[in-house]
Chain A
Amino acid sequence: MIVRLKMKNKMKKILLSRSTGLTLIVFAAMLCLAGVNIPQVSDSSPSFINGWKESHPLLAPVISLLHFDRMFSSEIFVAIVFLLFFVMSFSVWNLFTRTRKKLARQNLKFSEKSFKNYFSFISQDGDPVKNVIDTFAGKGYSLKNLSQGKYLFRKYGFSRWGGFILHLGMLIIIAAALYTFLFEKRGFIQILERDTFFGSSEEFLSTENGVFASPFVPNFNVTLEKLTPDYYPDGNLKFVESSILVSTTADTRIHGSLSINNPYKFGGVNIYQSTSFGYTICLLLNKNGKDIPTYFSLEHPDKLGKPFTAISDFPTTDYVFKMEFRPDINGSSFSLNQPSLHLIVDEKGMIQFDGTMKPGESVRLGDQELTFVDIRHWSGLILTENQSVIFIFLGFGLVILGLISVYIFPMREIYFVVEKNENAIRLSFGGRAVREPRRFEEEFRNYIESIYLKENFTNVKSELVEI
């Protein structure tokens, strides 16, 4: 029983220890550092990763073993974040109870260790207490009567809660980030104008769901009605907007639009406009009397006026298609004024066709016929479902609030004692600041001197004594 209690106390001590928290933060920073220096599978091509592994034969097996090539979802990183969350929970609770206790205390002793800077002087004239109170009130200090003849002046008292608020904010951010890691749903769709996404998980081109997230099945349909891009005169992209129709089985039909930085929100799902969009070309190959339609989605070029290009194979054939599409062969326009497709068809190194096609035209590829059937816009949309985002921002708000109160408004306390006898009044002052004590000491001396130099003190024989 005693052993268990000792263990419990030891554990509590470890969890509440600042060293533990700091060590975990150092570990987290080191893992982040490793994460930005080791190529990550999420943002590097497989060939780059393989090349990197080959050039680092000693390091590569360790990195693969520890999953550091996907650092921010690796078991070690997640474990560190979990531990940090756990330790911080204790720390936040501890900060809360400690701060509450400190604020509630009434019996500060003048000789207390923390009141290092204090002065005392004697006045023989009247009652200077009001003067002192007015002086500190004018400097933004609020007064708290402790007991008969004892006063506490406090400036930025709310700052005492700064540490607690800051750490609470961080705790909320970590909790929300862990929720995102575990339960976020995210998918990317490529949708053609006039086509509909029916909300099934198979329709996503790619998904990135949380570890414990169920398949992403949005409870609605999305039809792309129109894609509207806009360009600067120099040909750079200025704006892109998708007009959509959202419908549900309950006969709800809502027209909406979304653009970059202006997502569309429906049923707990956010739909974002990605910077991916372009034209989809439908080519129909008649092979042995059978029609094989294939859609090629061409990404928009980085500048207006350049062609939309793609290289792709053609299903069920040995053909490789090299395409260069221009919506307007005579000008720099995104609109389909005079669309033209320059197509090179390669079959096992032999060029089968090299020429230009317009919509509706057909060409012969040996004994087969290829027809340029259709051309439509496509838009890349990102769908996400994550309930924790609001908590991330709440956490940020608290962290900022906590930091501002800690660093911009550091708390100052001045302790003031009045002792009277028949002939004189003795005024004693003590000052305390946890942050920037030397600067506060100077400020404090100035206050005391200004009180001392005021008329009712200078007219009498009084004495400024530094204890």
Chain B
Amino acid sequence: MSSLNWLKYEVILHWIAVALYIAASVIFTYSLFFKNGKVIRHAFLLTIIGLVPHSAALLVRWIEQGHGPYMTRYEVLSSDAWVLLVMFLLFSVKWKKVQHLGVIILPVAFLMIAVGVMRNAAMQNLPPSLRSVWLIMHVTFAKLAGGAIIISFAAAQIFLLKIKRKSNNWLAKFPPAEIIDEYSYKFAGFGFVFWTINIAAGSIWAQESWGRYWAWDPIETWSLITWLMYGIYAHLRLFWNWKGKKSAIALTVCFLLSLFTIFILPFVAKTLHSQYFTP
């Protein structure tokens, strides 16, 4: 089958996944509004069913182009959403209270895929410098960091809403504010760990590729700034007792920085990453 036909099926599979994720989002919202804990199972089921065409689309592309989803905006956004959803499902199994965050996570995920699918889906070959095992590590952990950071951001936003509108019935159905605050911290911690591994793997890759582990490339520098901000956030929380509102605001700033570094900078700055992360 020609690449063009594969592309057609891939896009269809992506839209099926988007439709299922939209349905799951609706059920997540319904379960919160009507305090119907039972229907949340259906939301999870739909998310899992949505992951089937989503995974198939990514897998087909992977096989067809011979490398992972890290070259074009289309595949990057779709795979980032996939990682986010898988992380969310796994964490929801371990920590039941995280389940309610689906009300934010699912819409974010389907929007990411939809934005990606509307971009140019043409496949691209891997340049020689990207043919490295360290690239796979680098990209994998960047995606994991992105997923964890989005979950922590979602928790921080729910926390801020909860303390602002204490009498709101809808928000009352979420776990207590302090618990949500701790989850946002926990996922920020995961994000911080993954971000560090992402930087380390990128650094080793750069050393193997160009003989320089750090070149002050704009993405590298922004990545370091984001890392430092997460470090500052962690210190403020632990030693200056920045819990609750202050912590959630600091985390929101860190999230915006990460968002800029991962999703916006490669498109606006002249950086080593721009040539690989094409529109």
Residues on A facing B (Cβ under 8 Å) = 18, 21-22, 25-26, 28-29, 32-33, 35-36, 40, 42-43, 71-72, 177, 186, 232, 234, 236-240, 259-263, 270, 272, 274-275, 382, 384, 389, 392-393, 396-397, 399-400, 403-404, 406-408, 434-439, 442
Return chain A residues, CB-CB under 8 Å to B231: 25
Contact A400 B225 (CB under 8 A): no
Contact B125 A236 (CB under 8 A): yes
Q: A32-B224, A436-B185 are in contact. Are A400 and B197 (CB under 8 A)?
A: yes
Contact B125 A232 (CB under 8 A): yes
With A and B bound together, what is the CA distance between A237 and B193 in angstroms? 35
With A and B bound together, what is the CA distance between A138 and B221 in angstroms? 45
With A and B bound together, what is the CA distance between A40 and B214 in angstroms? 15
- B163 interface residue (CB < 8 Å to A): no
- B204 interface residue (CB < 8 Å to A): yes
Return chain B residues, CB-CB under 8 Å to A437: 182
- A sample of 24 cross-chain residue pairs with beta-carbon separation below 8 angstroms, ordered by A number, consists of A21-B235, A22-B235, A25-B228, A29-B225, A29-B228, A36-B225, A43-B270, A72-B216, A186-B212, A237-B128, A238-B126, A239-B131, A261-B132, A261-B209, A263-B208, A274-B210, A275-B129, A396-B196, A396-B203, A397-B200, A434-B238, A436-B185, A439-B186, A442-B179
Contact A261 B239 (CB under 8 A): no
A232-B125, A403-B192 known; 19 new pairs, CB 8 Å cut-off, are: A18-B235, A25-B231, A33-B225, A35-B216, A36-B222, A236-B125, A236-B127, A237-B128, A240-B128, A272-B210, A384-B211, A389-B207, A392-B203, A397-B200, A399-B196, A400-B196, A400-B200, A404-B193, A436-B185
Consensus secondary structure, chain A interface: helix
**B114-156 interface code vs A (CB 8 A; 1 in, 0 out):** 0000000000011111011000000000000000000000000
10 shortest A-B CB distances, which residue pairs?
A407-B189, A396-B200, A272-B211, A260-B128, A384-B211, A29-B228, A232-B125, A261-B132, A403-B193, A438-B178
With A and B bound together, what is the CA distance between A436 and B238 in angstroms? 10
- B60 interface residue (CB < 8 Å to A): no
- B229 interface residue (CB < 8 Å to A): yes
How many residues on chain B are close to A (CB under 8 Å)?
50
Q: Report which of B128, B211, B239 forms a contact with A186, defined as CB distance below 8 A.
A: B211
Q: From A440, which residue of chain B is reached at the shortest CB distance?
A: B182
**B218-255 interface code vs A (CB 8 A; 1 in, 0 out):** 10011011001101100110110000000000000000
- B267 interface residue (CB < 8 Å to A): no
Residues on B facing A (Cβ under 8 Å) = 125-129, 131-132, 176, 178-179, 181-183, 185-186, 189-190, 192-193, 196-197, 199-200, 203-205, 207-214, 216, 218, 221-222, 224-225, 228-229, 231-232, 235-236, 238-239, 269-270
- CB A199 to nearest CB in B, in angstroms, measures 17
Most chain B CB within 10 A, of A177, A259, A400, is at A400
With A and B bound together, what is the CA distance between A26 and B228 in angstroms? 8
